[in-house]
Structure 1
Amino acid sequence: MSARFWDPDGAKYGIPTYPLHLAPDGLATRRQLRARGLRPGGQEVAAQVMWRYPRGIAIAYLYRVDLAKPVRPMTPARWRAHEAMMRPRRICTACRKDVGYVVRTSTGLCEPCDPTLPTA
């Protein structure tokens, strides 16, 4: 256990802080909430997890699971809006066709039109 990041009362870091893998039950990151079909729902950060990695110190905020709300389902209108948002990303700037996948942002070209890609 890293005593460096052990601050369950929040005296050192301002909010309760735990080392990686040592947070108490009932707290979860956004990603963990999403995996359970939940979202923070406007609640304040309850605690944080801190750990060292090669570039410095990483922090993940934790939220209370009991206050989390269910993820709002995608309605048909939201799916249409999502499709409309993604459509321009699928259009090749050279041939102007919807290629069915997101074209490379570096060139804006589909695979057949991109001269930098090797041909099979």
Structure 2
Amino acid sequence: MARRIVRYWDPAGERHEVPTYPWGLAPAGLATRAQLVAMGLRPRGPHVAQIRWDSRRSTTPRVAYLWPVETARPPAPRSAAQIASLGAALRARRTCPECGAVRDYCLSTRLGICTLCADDVRVAA
């Protein structure tokens, strides 16, 4: 095995808290959160294993947690109140506090106002 594979090969979980596998060598039946979401599922319970790999962007190893596919379930359906609350929150992100207009886009957090009001402020300044 290559050195990078041996470094993260720990299926018994002796060196790391949970069973650890190098990139691309995880056993079948385990999936990351992104893979479960792509299958229309959500993880249930704590992760049972992890994948570790070295990244060029960081000096610390990257980690992806793994859950068993058979324990994953579809997401719970949202209630009407949750959908209404989400709609109100998104509407608030699109409402300009300066002019009160509801825009088709989320306002910039840096500006805090819509682009039309920001352009007027810059012209006036």
Fold conserved (TM > 0.5)? yes
- Who wins on radius of gyration, i.e. which is larger? 2
Secondary structure of the equivalent of 2:88? helix
Relative to its length, the structure with more helix (as a share) is: 2
Identity level (%): 40
Residue 29 of structure 2 aligns with an amino acid whose one-letter code is: G
Question: Is 2:26 the partner of 1:23?
Answer: yes
Between structures 1 and 2, the one with greater strand share? 1
Unaligned runs of 5+ in 1: 116-120
Q: Secondary structure at the match of 2:26?
A: coil
Of 102, 109, 120, 1:105 maps to 109
**Per-residue deviation at 1:77?**
3.0
Matched residue type, 1:28: A
Tell me, in whole angstroms, the C-alpha distance in 2 between the residues paired with 1:8 and 1:97: 57
Whole-angstrom distance in 1 between the partners of 2:64 and 2:83 = 30
Decide which of 66, 69, 89 is 1:85's aligned counterpart: 89
In 2, Cα distance between equivalents of 1:104 and 1:84: 18
1:64 aligns with 2:64: no
Q: Of 30, 38, 43, which residue of structure 2 is paired with 1:40?
A: 43
Match of 2:52 in 1: 50
Gaps of 5+ in 2: 120-125
RMSD of Structure 2 on Structure 1 (CA): 1.7
Deviation for aligned residue 1:79: 1.6
- 1:10 correspondence with 2:10: no
Shift in Å, 1:34? 0.9
Q: What amino acid maps onto 2:100 in structure 1?
A: R
How many corresponding residue pairs?
Answer: 115
**TM-score computed with the length of structure 2 as normaliser:** 0.83
Match of 1:118 in 2: none
